[in-house]
Structure 1
Amino acid sequence: MAMKNTPAGTIRYWAAARAAAGTAEEPYAARTLAEALDVARERHTARPEFARVLLRCSFLVDGTPVGTRDHKTIQLAEGGTVEVLPPFAGG
Structure 2
Amino acid sequence: MPKVTVRYWAAAKAAAGIDEEPYDADTLAEALDAARARHPGELTRVLRRCSFLIDGDPVGTRAHETVRLADGGTVEVLPPFAGG
Q: TM bucket by the smaller chain?
A: over 0.9
Structure 2 residue runs of 5 or longer lacking an equivalent are none
Query: Which residue of 2 is the match for residue 33 of structure 1?
Result: 28
Which amino acid is the alignment partner of residue 3 of structure 2? A
Query: Which residue of 2 is the match for residue 74 of structure 1?
Result: 67
Cα distance in 1 for partners of 2:4, 2:45 equals 23
Percent of residue pairs bearing the same amino acid type: 73
Q: TM-score, normalised by structure 2?
A: 0.97
Query: Which residue of 2 is the match for residue 3 of structure 1?
Result: none
User: What is the aligned-residue RMSD (CA, Å)?
Assistant: 1.0
> Post-superposition shift, 1:28?
1.2
Cα distance in 2 for partners of 1:44, 1:52 equals 11
The number of residue pairs the alignment matches comes to 84
Structure 1 residue runs of 5 or longer lacking an equivalent are 1-5
Q: TM-score, normalised by structure 1?
A: 0.90
Runs of 4 or more above 6 Å deviation? none
> Post-superposition shift, 1:17?
0.4
